[in-house]
Amino acid sequence: MAETSLAARGVHKSFPGVKALADVAIALRPGAIHALLGENGAGKSTLIKIITGVHQPDEGELTLDGRPMRFSGPRDAIAAGIGAVHQERNLIPRFSVGENIGLERLGGGRFGGVDYAALNAEARKWLDVLELDLDPRTPVSELNVAKRQLVEIAKALSLRSRVLLLDEPTASLTPQESQVLFGLLRKLAAEGASLLFVSHKLEEVQEICDEVTVLRDGRNACPSRPMAGLDRQALVRLMIGRNEQIPNWPPRSVEGQPTLLELSGVATALGHSGINLKLRKGEIVGLYGLVGAGRTELAKCILGWRRITAGELRIDGKPRRIGSVAEAIHDFAIGYVSEDRKQEGLILDHSVLENAGIAVWRKLAGRLGFLRDETVRARVGPIIAELEVRTPSLSQTLGHLSGGNQQKVSVAKWLAAQVRILMVDEPSVGIDIKTKAYIHELLRRLADEGAGVLLITSDMPEMITLADRIVVMDDFRIKGEIANSRQYGPMSEAIMAHIHHAAA
Amino acid sequence: MKTPKFMRADWFGPFAIVVVASVGITIFDRPFLSPFNIQILLLATAVNVVVAMSQMIIIAIGQMNLAIGAIGGLAAVCFAGLMQVWSFPPALAAVAALAIGAAAGLANGAIIARTGVSAFIVTLASLSIFKGADLGITRAQPFYGIPASVKAFGNATMFGPIPWLALPAALVIAFMWRLLYRQRIGRYILAVGGNASAAELSGVSIAQTTLWAHGLSGFLAALAGVMLVGRLQIGQPSIGDDWLILSFAAPVIGGAVLAGGHVSVFGTLFGVIIVAIITQALVIFQIDPYFVQVVLGLLILWTVGVNRLRELRLAGG
Amino acid sequence: MKDSGAVRPHEAMTSGARARFAGAVLTNEFGLVLLILLFGMLFALGTRGFASPFNLFTLGRIMAINIMIGYSMMVVIVTGGLDLSVGAIGVCAAMFFGWLSQRLGLPLVVTIPGALAMGAALGAVNGQLIVRSGLHSFIITLATMSVFFGFMEFVTRAQAFRGLPPAILAVGRMRYFGYVSPLLLVSAGVGLGLSALYRLTPLGREMLAAGANPAAAELSGVRVKRVIVQCHMLAGALAGIAALMAIARTGAAIPSMAGDLGQDWLLPAFLGPVLGGALLSGGRVSVLGAFLGSALVSELTNGLLQFRVGEFWVQTYLGLLLMAAVLIDLARRKLVARLGVAP
């Protein structure tokens, strides 16, 4: 079966301030399981949204069996035979399996009721295809995550989907459940469906996918091609690339500097265990891992957002219990630049001044508890200017700024708060190259001036540029630690080795 | 031993409370379950059930309707006024009143569906509009000229202690049960309340479903108003003023999830009965009747808290 | 009701003076001032009684109370919540004042703060329930409205307090220049205080942040839960002030002063802030807007009555006004977004 089922060619898509996809192409074959790979910000989710009809491409075309397609919304894509099983569940929790599967075709007319017997019988057909031994009358809310996902697949099949897109399908499955799923996917492929498998778990992708397309920075890192001949190293290399110049910065030493932050044997409410981490004054420690490794979660636990359940956390050598985010920020001078800039990092409806000053309002207030805008401006203004944030004024609504400038404000907030420990999470996602370089210099300068920086990024060049030491994380545990020689080749090999050992 | 299925149903808890409460009160006060008292309870319950169903259908779609009291009051005075001032026969006046209620509900639904303004604000505004119309038409004076047949329907009994008023109430219960569990539009209402985006992806029109839900809600509110005119034997403009709390309390006690997607018809029915029993009991034991409000409020807080814990546990699965 | 119009930064923004003018004219507050003046002229010319000192005095007192009620709700809306119990809390504060004054004979220096403290305490109950349960403020305050009011009626046996200190009644009757009531000055003063809160204090700024994006605020060091409780306490105290004004106006503390369960206060409570441009989703405030909004509503009510519209129909017109105001504001926001003028 060599013909193409779903294909996209020359796809371009821009959003305000950032170009998400540039000249991207992908081609699926019937009977093949096709992997779509790419790190955060590579453009995977934008491509998925275009395929499922949520967005329309600015340029380029989508074809199905050679016929050009234009989807004005998700239902057009569904009608064309493209089924999707997303990360969030698209099921009605209190409805039965049968009713969820048959929701589009409830029938019933004005006075006749819904024929549940027929509905369940129809559902039964599709459950059988998937070899799911479920009573269609079971409410979906009583099923575990694995079964709910299978119900969604059954639903997609019942809508005569010939292209099935699965977005991180094994995210919440046990290894056994994943194997059951894979068996099913192979069966569906054998029957002629085209499957698009989106995942960051490389071992799985290698196990089950016949073909692959890798995206990086909004472009194809490789065209759609068979998996044969690509080992894990090659895949990761495609995903993370090495098109950046590592700046030739003088080496730094943090010997003899006091330890700002230390974690010993720390376990958290979010699932970490045995975490040992040290951050010295003036040091940049990188926390590397692929998506899902638990790095963001660790940062948030350090920040006091969720509890540390075992082990010890020391600040400046003294053991501390951080009970709340406010305590971490105001009492211990810890800051966190969130990876989710728009939802968690910034208040887009508020002005630049309000966003940049939020962490210091309490500190800047005068004796009577009053705080004038001028006072905030005096503290925050110079920082905004120094960071070269392009904004008409400090009263500009933050949502109107470009992504890069928004990120600068996000960092400015912590500079204004004079944090001593700054955790930075995926700082360059969706940011233009120039701002990215600027932020790198900024972080380095911050460390030079005595702060400790914990850098979380899945961008390998960024990591090797900035970090003095790189800690590799996977599956909510620390897998290894390497000092940074700043030689890209050897470093990336060494880091990969740690990741692969983890995955093995 | 795993709890048998019927005991885990939403209605079982309230039902058990009704039984226990009735038995308990009878021990202290023999006449509680006398035919006369049962008639009083049923008369109170009959109207309140319809009120509760009017709100329940909006809770099902995940919204709230602050205007049911105002719609009910407006329909009530229209019903009474048409009969007194224009000598309409009762059946025709009732149909007109119900049509007015449905139209009012549809207007709410249309604005919510078309503009995306929250149901809270839309029904708050329409609450004032309809209440004002209610007062304006009547100049705050009740209509006294209610035909004897209507008065009888509102108070007489069919057989034994069962009043005629229980008949429309029973029909409404049966209708709601069938609508929400067997009819497509009812399933759509629950689907939109349960997961609106998933429902939309499956072709459910949120706008149309909203219209249906609010239209039905207005219709039921009007029905309750008409029934109340019969029971009170006057067309009181203040009808509906005290419906708001009860309209939420009963469905919530019955296990409704305020975020939408799950309600229990029989749970709501028993919720209404519980409220009626509490009110009666407070009178019997000569506890201040003002205490009813306090109890209702506390009951809502308690059950909403319990329901939420249950939802959280379910979502984790 | 999130603003749906996304402005593209790379599109040309209307620049300079033209933008500022457009921005100023398209503001809500300007529109409200215009409407107040327009309707004022209409009523003054069209009726005989509107512009009389007595009527303006009466209007001023009612305005003051409505503005206060509007503030109480505004403070909660800013943090993204709703407070249905504003009337119930007000009545409780009023009756508490009556009890302290008449039954215990305490002086005004004690009873007035006492009433405000009662309001704040009840607000704290709301705030704690909301924050601890994680439930929406709608259902919590629907329940507490019932609990507070019922408890109040139970305790007072629905008896009014009519033997109140003459001082407070005198304030209700005082007139400056023949037609300005001191109550109106109090409302204006409180308004200035609230403006100062939001513009000049960390707490006020944090309230706005918590309303606009609670997750981001939390991760930026704002103690969101504490802020929400404090905001409800403030709302309760403001409701208490409104209740005291109502007592000053009528001369007695009556349990039914705000209607059944206090629900008569709900409409003015929302009309003011909504007309004033508050977003129900929170994060933005216009104290001046709420002031003008409540003023406009009071003026309209008074004017309609002067026109012999019939007091019973007034409520209908107010409901239509609320509906119209919300829709017009929606349209205005879309227009502003499309023009690229920063709101």
Q: What is the pLDDT of residues B93-108, one digit of tens each?
A: 999 999 999 999 999 9
| Contact between C322 and B64 using a beta-carbon 8 Å cutoff | no
**Angstroms from B190 CA to nearest CA on chain A:** 9
Which residues of chain A, if any, have pLDDT below 50?
1, 243, 504
Q: Per this entry, what is the length of chain C?
A: 343
Q: Would you place residue C23 in the very low, low, confident or very high pLDDT band (cuts 50, 70, 90)?
A: low
- The rounded percent of chain C whose pLDDT value lies above 70 is 91
Write phi, then psi, for A328 (nearest 5 degrees): -60, -45
Average pLDDT rounded to a whole number, residues B291-305:
86
List the single residue in C with minimal CA-CA distance to A340.
Answer: C216
| Contact between B120 and C280 using a beta-carbon 8 Å cutoff | yes
Give residue B184's identity as a one-letter amino acid code: R
* Residues of chain B found within 8 Å of residue C312, distances taken between Cβ atoms: 132, 135-136, 138-140
Q: Is the pLDDT assigned to residue C22 strictly greater than 80?
A: no
Domain residue ranges in chain C:
28-38+50-331
Residue B217 to residue A57: CA distance in whole angstroms: 43
| Contact between A92 and B317 using a beta-carbon 8 Å cutoff | no
Say what the pLDDT of residue B32 is: 76
What sections of B29-147 are H helices per DSSP?
35-60, 68-85, 90-115, 119-138
What sections of C105-181 are H helices per DSSP?
108-133, 137-156, 166-173
User: Residue C154 is nearest to which of B133, B136, B288, comparing CB atoms?
Assistant: B288
Say what the pLDDT of residue A257 is: 87
> DSSP string spanning A136-182?
TTSBGGGS-HHHHHHHHHHHHHHTT-SEEEEESTTTT--HHHHHHHH
| Contact between C267 and B128 using a beta-carbon 8 Å cutoff | yes
Q: Which residues contact B165 (CB under 8 A, 6 or more apart)?
A: B42, B43, B46, B47, B153, B154, B155, B227, B230, B231
Say what the pLDDT of residue C1 is: 34
* A-contacting chains (≥3 CB pairs under 8 Å): B, C
The answer to whether residue C263 neighbours chain A at the CB level (below 8 Å) is no
List the single residue in A with minimal CA-CA distance to B200.
Answer: A75
Say what the pLDDT of residue B105 is: 97
Q: Tell me if residue A478 falls in helix, strand or coil.
A: strand
Q: What are the E-state strand segments in A28-151?
A: 33-37, 59-64, 67-69, 82-85
The encoded tokens of residue B286 equal 């000569």
For chain C, the average pLDDT equals 86
With the C-alpha atoms ordered A438, A444, A448, A454, is the resulting torsion angle positive or negative?
positive
Q: Is the pLDDT assigned to residue C20 strictly greater than 80?
A: no
CATH fold group of domain A259-503: Rossmann fold (3.40.50)
**Angstroms from A272 CA to nearest CA on chain B:** 19
Residue B106 lies in a domain: yes
A67-69 and A59-64 beta bridge pairing: antiparallel
Q: Determine the angle formed by the axes of helices B206-232 and B90-115, rounding to 10 degrees.
A: 150
**Is C335 in contact with C26 (CB distance < 8 Å)?**
yes
pLDDT single digits (tens) C52-85: 888 889 899 999 999 999 999 999 999 999 999 9
User: Residue A90 is nearest to which of B184, B188, B201, comparing CB atoms?
Assistant: B201
Give CA angle at B190 (B187, B195), nearest 5°: 120
**Is B297 in contact with B245 (CB distance < 8 Å)?**
yes
List the single residue in C with minimal CA-CA distance to B116.
Answer: C1
* Residues of chain B found within 8 Å of residue C330, distances taken between Cβ atoms: 115-117
pLDDT single digits (tens) B119-145: 998 999 999 999 999 999 998 889 988
Q: Give first-to-last CA distance, chain C, whole Å.
A: 16
Write phi, then psi, for A196 (nearest 5 degrees): -110, 115
Q: Is the pLDDT assigned to residue C335 strictly greater than 90?
A: no
- The ipTM, to two decimals, is 0.87
Q: Where does A1-81+162-241 sit in CATH, by number? A: 3.40.50.300
Closest CA to C242 of C65, C113, C108, C106: C65
Average pLDDT rounded to a whole number, residues B158-167:
86
| Contact between C138 and B308 using a beta-carbon 8 Å cutoff | no
Helix, strand and coil content of chain C, in percent to the nearest 5, comes to 75, 0, 25
Phi-psi region of A420 (alpha: psi -120 to 50; beta: other; left: phi over 0): alpha
Residue B280 lies in a domain: yes
* Residues of chain A found within 8 Å of residue B315, distances taken between Cβ atoms: 93, 141
* Residues of chain B found within 8 Å of residue A99, distances taken between Cβ atoms: 187
**Angstroms from B189 CA to nearest CA on chain A:** 11
Lowest-pLDDT choice from A240-244, A399-403, B148-152, B189-193: A240-244
**Angstroms from C208 CA to nearest CA on chain A:** 9
Give CA angle at C75 (A336, C274), nearest 5°: 110
- Residue range(s) defining the domain that contains residue B62: 45-154+173-297
User: Residue C9 is nearest to which of A345, A395, A400, comparing CB atoms?
Assistant: A400
Reported as type and span, the H/E element at residue A370 is none
Residue B303 lies in a domain: no
| Contact between B202 and A93 using a beta-carbon 8 Å cutoff | no
For chain B, the average pLDDT equals 89
Instruction: Annotate C69-79 with b (16+ C-beta within 10 A) or e (fewer).
Output: bbbbbbbbbbb
Reported as type and span, the H/E element at residue B141 is none
**Angstroms from B300 CA to nearest CA on chain A:** 22
Residue B193 lies in a domain: yes
Residue A358 to residue A355: CA distance in whole angstroms: 6
Residue B124 to residue C271: CA distance in whole angstroms: 10
Say what the pLDDT of residue C10 is: 34
Give residue B116's identity as a one-letter amino acid code: G
List the single residue in A with minimal CA-CA distance to B314.
Answer: A141
Substitution target in C279, C300, C323 with the highest count of B β-carbons within 10 Å is C323
Domain count, chain B: 1
User: Residue A114 is nearest to which of B182, B315, B317, comparing CB atoms?
Assistant: B182
Average pLDDT rounded to a whole number, residues B283-294:
78
| C 275-334 residues inside an 8 A Cβ radius of B | 280, 310, 312-320, 322-323, 326-327, 330
Give CA angle at B276 (B275, B282), nearest 5°: 90
Residue A141: other Cβ atoms inside 10 A = 19
List the single residue in B with minimal CA-CA distance to A152.
Answer: B198
Instruction: Give CATH 3.40.50.300 domain extents, chain A.
Output: 1-81+162-241, 259-503
The encoded tokens of residue C277 equal 């441009």
Say what the pLDDT of residue C330 is: 81
pLDDT single digits (tens) C118-154: 999 999 999 999 998 888 899 999 999 999 998 898 8
Say what the pLDDT of residue C17 is: 59
Residue A481 to residue A474: CA distance in whole angstroms: 12
Lowest-pLDDT choice from A16-20, A36-40, B35-39, B151-155: A16-20
Say what the pLDDT of residue C9 is: 36
Residue C235 to residue C68: CA distance in whole angstroms: 10
| Contact between B198 and A91 using a beta-carbon 8 Å cutoff | yes
Residue B103 lies in a domain: yes
Residue B40 lies in a domain: no
Q: Give first-to-last CA distance, chain B, whole Å.
A: 21
pLDDT single digits (tens) C146-181: 999 988 988 888 888 888 888 888 888 888 877 788
The answer to whether residue C175 neighbours chain A at the CB level (below 8 Å) is no
* Residues of chain B found within 8 Å of residue C274, distances taken between Cβ atoms: 121
With the C-alpha atoms ordered B314, C2, C5, C11, is the resulting torsion angle positive or negative?
negative
Q: Which residues contact B170 (CB under 8 A, 6 or more apart)?
A: none
Q: Where does C28-38+50-331 sit in CATH, by number? A: 1.10.3470
Closest CA to B208 of B114, B71, B145: B114
Closest CA to C152 of C182, C127, C115: C115
Q: Would you place residue C24 in the very low, low, confident or very high pLDDT band (cuts 50, 70, 90)?
A: low
Q: What are the E-state strand segments in A148-283?
A: 163-167, 194-198, 211-216, 219-226, 259-268, 275-280
List the single residue in B with minimal CA-CA distance to A145.
Answer: B317
Q: Would you place residue C3 in the very low, low, confident or very high pLDDT band (cuts 50, 70, 90)?
A: very low
Highest mean pLDDT of the ranges B196-200, B220-224, C171-175: B220-224
Say what the pLDDT of residue C13 is: 41
| Contact between A354 and C209 using a beta-carbon 8 Å cutoff | yes
* B-contacting chains (≥3 CB pairs under 8 Å): A, C
Q: Which residues contact C148 (CB under 8 A, 6 or more apart)?
A: B297, C85, C88, C89, C92, C122, C262
The answer to whether residue C221 neighbours chain A at the CB level (below 8 Å) is yes
